[in-house]
Structure 1
Amino acid sequence: MVRAEITTPEDRMKILEETIKSFSERAGSHDKYRTFPFENYKELKRIGYPSWTIPKQDGGAGISLTEMLELQEALAKSDGPTALSIGWHMGITKHLGENKTWNEKTYQAFVKTVIEDGALLNNAASEPATGSPTRGGRPVTEARGKEGIWVINGRKNFTTMAPVLTYFVVSASIAGTDKIGNFIIKRENKGVKIEETWDSVAMKATGSHDLLLEDVIVDKEALVEYIIPGTKPAAGWLLHIPACYIGIARAAQEYAIEFALNYSPNSIDGTIAELPTVKQKIGQMELLVQESRHFLYSVAKKWDKSDNETRQGMKPELGAAKLSVVNRAIDIVDIAMRIVGARSLSEENPLQRFYRDVRAGLHNPPMDDMTINQLASRAIKRQSY
């Protein structure tokens, strides 16, 4: 539930920062032992965080995209996997509130559980046979209509936050037609199973397991929308992805600077922070951080201020921000590791975890090659006039 005393962006950032202090202390252990940070979600629910992107008229805080990214970036500095995971819920919930693509009754029932119980939702769209849904593959998962119900069968992979999700929004081909739909399915539905398949070396604590659907029965209203794979409208909320990775990169930056300020080998006077070569690297990191954050937040602010027509023309900018920020986040962590040296490869050193985690961003949508093609098409079209 949204707490009465949390009324301004400053209030929200303050209480979030207080809440997530312990997240960074636990992150290394969850990564090392492949455990899921259930306690993090309990704490985020306690402050009402999952409801903050719900519009005010629906009972949430109605935060802007820019504020959402600032909060997600701060969260990622403490725990990247938790930030990336809940970022999907925050972004999808924001999108639903702004666009009202679902039946109003279904939508209101959903937001009520988020506000009152901290219910969590994520899309389940990826499948082994189709690869990334952004490339337009038809789901193998199938929904078969019967009298008053749907019966759904299939398997989804990369179902991030699977251990704590309340709802899954599942894409499925509709039997006997060429249509594809999104179906909202509750965790407690009979036939819903989680198979713990997540064995990635990056973002270990996201719990991105397989979702199995075996003769899952839902009512007709569970079909919340029809979709055409590969033709999604521009989605500003997906900027939660680069916000997460620049947050991780900033954690690496701070660790490296702190190390440099305190490491004093007996071969020099003072600390290595005074060495020109180390100063160069610190400066390079700071330049990349500033470039990335300016790019990310300028695009987010444009989105916040724009009407829908302008937003739908922003796909290349949104993709470019994601591509640029994620790749620079990888560079920042790499430079941080060069400052710290061989110690950065120690299992107990957080930099090796940051390095593995930021590389996961290369495989989050939109993919780099798709973004480059969009940018090329825009540039060619502009030049053709």
Structure 2
Amino acid sequence: MVFLKSQKQRNTLQEIGKMADEFGKRALYYEQQQQFPFENMKDLRNQGYTTLTLPQSLGGQGATLYEFLLMQERLAQGCGSTALGMGWHLGCVLDICEDNNWEKDVYHEIMNAVKNGALLNRAATERATGSPTRGGKPETTATEHEDHWVIHGRKTFTTLAPALDFYLVSASITGSEEVGDFLIHKGTKGVSIDETWDSIAMQSTGSHDLVLDNVKIDKRYFLETIGPKRKMKANAWLLHIPACYLGIAQAARTYALNFASSYQPNSIQTTISELPNVRRLIGEIELELKQARHMLYSVAEKWENTSDRESFKPELAAVKHTVTNNAISIVDKAMRIVGARSLSAKNPLQRYYRDVRAGLHNPPMDDATIALLAQSALDGLKTDQ
């Protein structure tokens, strides 16, 4: 609560918290049934949460980056999969509205749809290229015709695929070295979802393959060219990723503390919360949570108050690395406190444990972050000299 700056933020967080707690009750069912959480999506739409980062001038709630992260962390305490999926949608909206590079009519068409509950996400990853942050060129192609484009290919890890209304697809432009972003509506002929998502982590994100079989779209849905400037851009909206894993870690911490404060084996005269080894683990959990939370929100706050945002790339990457790895450590310690019961299929800790591991594979990956920090340090040394 120390990170809340206004009564409005407190009230919104309480509303999100009520939904998150309900989502937490449903999480086991969705995993066991291997179902996408459509009910969660419906509740989020009805509450207006899907417009959280849409500017107020366009009918949204106009949340800042800082507020976006606060709400995402709380949502993830209930269901990490739901939070991560919504983070991609809300983060894309925040990014698109800040850049505002699209043609005016398309921009207002899509943002009006978002105001009315539509969901969108980028479809950029492919099996052959791996993460788009690694620089691989898409094998998905876009071929220009007189009055339309034809998009053909397959995208992997399309989070929220069963619920998306719009796909922002990266594709190599035929006969050119350029790569562009294209807007494709759900239900367009040739668009289908191949239900390939079988991950043991974040099972309910619905991150299936998007199949594009010679999809014909209007010329105006060529959104922009993905040039060097965009590739080098500092993307603070991606902080929704560590915020999600921080929320999962908080949920693990709460479960472990409640367990430690109530469990008393007959071999001792008190609950295990009084045992020195358990107290050490609890203290370490608190320390790692504070380190992660202060780093996340201090960088987000500084981002909002600086004009030199491009210099923040190392800071943003360091936040993701630190928070995600701290979250993994926190969940591990929570499981050590609870013991073998944490491995029960009905125990939420085993889901938290699987879900936080997924953070290692969200951008930027740890090796890329370390390389970036090293280069930044060496560049800074040259500047100082």
Contact 2:344 2:350 (C-alpha < 8 Å) held by counterparts: yes
| Cα shift at 1:107 | 0.9
Which region of structure 1 is more displaced relative to structure 2, 296-305 or 28-37?
Answer: 28-37
How big is each residue's C-alpha offset from its partner over 1:336-374, in whole Å with a ceiling of 9 and x where there is no partner? Answer: 000011111111111111000000000000111111111
After superposition, where does 1:341-360 map in structure 2 within 5 Å? 341-360=339-358
Aligned to 1:201: 200
Aligned to 1:145: 144
| Cα shift at 1:33 | 2.4
For 1:232 and 1:12, locate their aligned partners in 2 and report how far apart those are by CA, in whole Å.
34
For 1:56 and 1:98, locate their aligned partners in 2 and report how far apart those are by CA, in whole Å.
13
1:330 corresponds to 2:366: no
| Cα shift at 1:30 | 1.2
For 2:378 and 2:327, locate their aligned partners in 1 and report how far apart those are by CA, in whole Å.
29
Aligned to 2:96: 96
| Cα shift at 1:50 | 1.1
Correspondent of 1:367 among 345, 350, 365? 365
1:69 corresponds to 2:69: yes
Aligned to 1:173: 172
1:160 corresponds to which letter in structure 2?
T
1:286 corresponds to which letter in structure 2?
E
How big is each residue's C-alpha offset from its partner over 1:9-55, in whole Å with a ceiling of 9 and x where there is no partner? Answer: 23322222222321000011212222110000000000111112011
| Cα shift at 1:228 | 3.6
Aligned to 1:83: 83
Contact 2:144 2:174 (C-alpha < 8 Å) held by counterparts: yes
1:54 corresponds to 2:54: yes
For 1:47 and 1:376, locate their aligned partners in 2 and report how far apart those are by CA, in whole Å.
44
For 2:89 and 2:15, locate their aligned partners in 1 and report how far apart those are by CA, in whole Å.
19
Give 3-state SS (helix, strand or coil) of 2:225's partner: strand
The change in CA–CA distance for 1:137 and 1:228 in structure 2 (over 3 A counts) is: farther
Aligned to 1:157: 156
For 1:312 and 1:167, locate their aligned partners in 2 and report how far apart those are by CA, in whole Å.
29
How big is each residue's C-alpha offset from its partner over 1:200-253, in whole Å with a ceiling of 9 and x where there is no partner? Answer: 010000000000000101011111010047924001100000000000000000
Contact 2:160 2:205 (C-alpha < 8 Å) held by counterparts: yes
After superposition, where does 1:251-266 map in structure 2 within 5 Å? 251-266=251-266
Aligned to 1:23: 23
TM-score (norm: length of structure 2): 0.96
After superposition, where does 1:199-238 map in structure 2 within 5 Å? 199-228=198-227, 231-238=231-238
2:319 corresponds to which letter in structure 1?
A
For 2:108 and 2:264, locate their aligned partners in 1 and report how far apart those are by CA, in whole Å.
59
For 1:19 and 1:343, locate their aligned partners in 2 and report how far apart those are by CA, in whole Å.
27
TM-score (norm: length of structure 1): 0.96
| Cα shift at 1:286 | 0.4
Contact 1:246 1:292 (C-alpha < 8 Å) held by counterparts: yes
| Cα shift at 1:74 | 0.2
For 2:105 and 2:52, locate their aligned partners in 1 and report how far apart those are by CA, in whole Å.
20
Give 3-state SS (helix, strand or coil) of 1:13's partner: helix
| Cα shift at 1:188 | 1.2
- Unaligned regions of 5+ residues in structure 1, if any? 1-6
Give 3-state SS (helix, strand or coil) of 1:78's partner: coil
After superposition, where does 1:174-193 map in structure 2 within 5 Å? 174-193=173-192
For 1:337 and 1:203, locate their aligned partners in 2 and report how far apart those are by CA, in whole Å.
18
1:80 corresponds to which letter in structure 2?
G
Residue correspondences, number = 376
For 1:269 and 1:312, locate their aligned partners in 2 and report how far apart those are by CA, in whole Å.
57
1:304 corresponds to 2:283: no
Give 3-state SS (helix, strand or coil) of 2:374's partner: helix
For 2:121 and 2:183, locate their aligned partners in 1 and report how far apart those are by CA, in whole Å.
10
| Cα shift at 1:145 | 0.6
For 1:276 and 1:82, locate their aligned partners in 2 and report how far apart those are by CA, in whole Å.
36
For 1:225 and 1:8, locate their aligned partners in 2 and report how far apart those are by CA, in whole Å.
36
Contact 2:242 2:319 (C-alpha < 8 Å) held by counterparts: yes
Aligned to 1:125: 124
For 2:328 and 2:273, locate their aligned partners in 1 and report how far apart those are by CA, in whole Å.
22
| Cα shift at 1:377 | 0.8
1:191 corresponds to which letter in structure 2?
G
Contact 1:55 1:98 (C-alpha < 8 Å) held by counterparts: no
| Cα shift at 1:60 | 1.4
For 2:8 and 2:59, locate their aligned partners in 1 and report how far apart those are by CA, in whole Å.
15
2:161 corresponds to which letter in structure 1?
A
How big is each residue's C-alpha offset from its partner over 1:269-294, in whole Å with a ceiling of 9 and x where there is no partner? Answer: 01000111101100000000000000
Give 3-state SS (helix, strand or coil) of 1:131's partner: coil
1:274 corresponds to 2:274: yes
Aligned to 2:240: 240
2:163 corresponds to which letter in structure 1?
V
1:291 corresponds to which letter in structure 2?
Q
For 1:251 and 1:232, locate their aligned partners in 2 and report how far apart those are by CA, in whole Å.
35
Q: Let me know the Cα RMSD of the aligned residues.
A: 1.2
